[in-house]
Chains A and B, each alone.
Chain A
């Protein structure tokens, strides 16, 4: 069979001959490995589903008995029967609003700079590297930054005798340093979610076809006119989806707010940017940390409220994503 081959190849065996000479692996064995791996996959994947189900069911069982209109409209109390989440719910809403209003422009602005305006320079790559690293910073460390920068203004003004502007009763009351008011809380959470918003906005901008930008530039539009009229409108649904996910992170954060030193027991809702506040996750932490079962029920009920808020956020994100897909297709 090798007679026709040149002399150099004659001494060698054909690949088929070598392959045939090796002992065969058991086909049944390989198929069994395939099947048992699939079983492992299915088992482990269902485990994650079971974990989620157990988590949601136990929390519902623990907490739903405490849910009532009163629970939403009462302040926290030493007596479990009278306790509610009014202060922390409103605190969360205020803090998240401030966080969104500050993080969105800054985050999207950063993304626009990096994607549309920056030239390839050392500064640009340093900023990019920096943002990638910020995403890995633990949120409690951001709490320390917020405490020093916002709550204490680097110690430039004394916290005991702050510089005040306006009437403490009015909405337009400001003091320096901010202390542990909602403004300090919102800005601290802004630091936490900024990397998330920047990265998702960058992806959104990158998804806009290059040809639209060149089309606009060729008509004599400046870089900013192109960004404002063409690129940004085309990427806004994706930017909003990312922003909402970032907000749901912000609303669930407890550690950075805790570091600010907010009072754990509050019986008022915020009235201006300097008002004391607490947030839902911190209220949950407070209740969950107590040994009595009644407070655990309160914690579970507050978790249900928190998850309901998050679910609303995510539903909005899903609707936006659908609109985006419809617009694209």
Chain B
């Protein structure tokens, strides 16, 4: 029972839900053009996508579309395959023994699963933020500059500017501008996570994948990250995996519900939370299981 590719975008700017009144994102029409200026509204498209870990069939026939410059949330109980699916989008599963996939998964119409695909270039284009903040044991500056230095050689003034803008984009600049050279490990958990977002932004990605980015944070840090996510969507296609349904309702435009490796339902967030088509979705979002 898949929503399938037929679940296309409706304009989320016109919809509203009671618990996100204060966090409306910028108007759809006024949003900045996508970085690559692609005319297609769909950034990532999966069609009959299957994923395995060895013998374990982790993802079964997933078909969905992820709109450009919008926030899409993956929800579902633990082990439902949502994180696994996320990790296929930047091929982080490559390093896992026995992980394989079939079907179609494309970014901007280009095959993500191809053997000849340059994984390094893909990951530059698809950034990832992890469950636990994982700043490198380096200075704040070096954390942000790490990615850019890998891919290009910069003049130092350009690099300074890039680091500053990335930290500004992660709403961290004002808090750390006086101690860029001190260790990133001295930051608070929420600051560390925003640093990881800045680090991902600095390589100039088009897509940001977030794997439960707030699950290790306190409520106040969570609120600041959620606000940041809403602010970043003008520029980035964001996919966020979350266990927290309120969070999905607060930050996302689109929601996909996974259950036991299958995509049960995918649609506008308001739709999923107020008027789900599937009984299991309704049970899950209303907290009856999971």
A residues lining the B interface (CB < 8 Å): 119-120, 209, 211-212, 214-222, 225, 229-230, 233-234, 327
In the assembled complex, the Cα of A217 lies from the Cα of B147 at a distance in Å of: 10
Q: Pick the contact of A220: B132, B137, B151 (CB < 8 A).
A: B151
Nearest CB on B from A150, distance (A): 39
Q: In the assembled complex, which residues on chain A have CB atoms less than 8 Å from the CB atom of B122?
A: 220
Tell me if B20 is interfacial: C-beta within 8 Å of chain A.
no
Do A218 and B90 have beta carbons less than 8 Å apart? Answer: yes
Residue of B nearest to A119 (CB): B97
- Interface residue tally of chain B, by bracket? 20 to 34
8 Å CB contacts to A: which residues of B177-233? 196, 199-200, 203
In the assembled complex, the Cα of A229 lies from the Cα of B143 at a distance in Å of: 11
Q: In the assembled complex, which residues on chain B have CB atoms less than 8 Å from the CB atom of A216?
A: 136, 146
In the assembled complex, the Cα of A234 lies from the Cα of B90 at a distance in Å of: 25
Q: In the assembled complex, which residues on chain A have CB atoms less than 8 Å from the CB atom of B121?
A: 220
Beyond A218-B127, A220-B151, A229-B136, list 16 extra A-B contacts (CB 8 Å). A211-B132, A212-B137, A214-B92, A215-B135, A215-B136, A217-B123, A218-B90, A219-B123, A219-B124, A219-B147, A219-B203, A220-B121, A220-B203, A221-B147, A222-B120, A327-B137
Nearest CB on A from B255, distance (A): 24
Known interface pairs A120-B97, A211-B130, A229-B146. Does A218 touch B123 (Cβ–Cβ under 8 Å)? yes
Do B134 and A221 have beta carbons less than 8 Å apart? Answer: no
Tell me if B163 is interfacial: C-beta within 8 Å of chain A.
no
Tell me if B44 is interfacial: C-beta within 8 Å of chain A.
no
Q: Which 7 pairs, one residue from A and one from B, show the smallest C-beta to C-beta distance? A: A220-B123, A218-B128, A219-B147, A211-B134, A220-B124, A215-B134, A220-B120
In the assembled complex, the Cα of A230 lies from the Cα of B199 at a distance in Å of: 14
Do B136 and A217 have beta carbons less than 8 Å apart? Answer: no
Tell me if B14 is interfacial: C-beta within 8 Å of chain A.
no
Nearest CB on A from B54, distance (A): 12
Q: In the assembled complex, which residues on chain A have CB atoms less than 8 Å from the CB atom of B120?
A: 220-222
In the assembled complex, the Cα of A120 lies from the Cα of B124 at a distance in Å of: 27
- Chain B, 116-158, contact with A by CB distance < 8 Å: what is the 0/1 string? 0000111110011010101111000000001100110000000
Chain A binding surface, main DSSP class: helix
Tell me if B22 is interfacial: C-beta within 8 Å of chain A.
no
Residue of B nearest to A226 (CB): B150
Q: In the assembled complex, which residues on chain A have CB atoms less than 8 Å from the CB atom of B199?
A: 215, 219
Known interface pairs A211-B132, A222-B120. Does A217 touch B95 (Cβ–Cβ under 8 Å)? yes
Do A234 and B97 have beta carbons less than 8 Å apart? Answer: no
Known interface pairs A215-B196, A218-B123. Does A234 touch B137 (Cβ–Cβ under 8 Å)? yes
In the assembled complex, the Cα of A44 lies from the Cα of B201 at a distance in Å of: 62
Q: In the assembled complex, which residues on chain A have CB atoms less than 8 Å from the CB atom of B95?
A: 217
Q: Pick the contact of A212: B134, B151, B203 (CB < 8 A).
A: B134
Q: List 24 A-B contacts (CB under 8 A).
A: A119-B97, A209-B134, A212-B134, A212-B137, A214-B130, A215-B134, A215-B196, A216-B146, A217-B95, A218-B123, A218-B127, A219-B123, A219-B124, A219-B150, A219-B199, A219-B200, A220-B121, A220-B122, A220-B123, A221-B120, A221-B147, A229-B146, A230-B136, A233-B137
Q: In the assembled complex, which residues on chain A have CB atoms less than 8 Å from the CB atom of B97?
A: 119-120
Do A212 and B130 have beta carbons less than 8 Å apart? Answer: no
Q: In the assembled complex, which residues on chain A have CB atoms less than 8 Å from the CB atom of B134?
A: 209, 211-212, 214-215
Nearest CB on B from A233, distance (A): 7
Nearest CB on A from B147, distance (A): 4
In the assembled complex, the Cα of A222 lies from the Cα of B135 at a distance in Å of: 18
Q: In the assembled complex, which residues on chain B have CB atoms less than 8 Å from the CB atom of A219?
A: 123-124, 127, 146-147, 150, 199-200, 203
Q: In the assembled complex, which residues on chain B have CB atoms less than 8 Å from the CB atom of A215?
A: 130, 134-136, 196, 199
Residue of A nearest to B97 (CB): A120
In the assembled complex, the Cα of A120 lies from the Cα of B147 at a distance in Å of: 28
Do A220 and B136 have beta carbons less than 8 Å apart? Answer: no
Nearest CB on A from B128, distance (A): 4
Nearest CB on A from B86, distance (A): 11
In the assembled complex, the Cα of A220 lies from the Cα of B150 at a distance in Å of: 8
Q: In the assembled complex, which residues on chain B have CB atoms less than 8 Å from the CB atom of A218?
A: 90, 92, 123, 127-128, 130, 200
Residue of B nearest to A221 (CB): B150
Nearest CB on B from A167, distance (A): 44
Q: In the assembled complex, which residues on chain A have CB atoms less than 8 Å from the CB atom of B132?
A: 211
Residue of A nearest to B148 (CB): A219
Residue of B nearest to A229 (CB): B146
Q: In the assembled complex, which residues on chain B have CB atoms less than 8 Å from the CB atom of A221?
A: 120, 146-147, 150
Q: In the assembled complex, which residues on chain A have CB atoms less than 8 Å from the CB atom of B123?
A: 217-220
Do A217 and B151 have beta carbons less than 8 Å apart? Answer: no
In the assembled complex, the Cα of A234 lies from the Cα of B135 at a distance in Å of: 12
In the assembled complex, the Cα of A209 lies from the Cα of B131 at a distance in Å of: 14
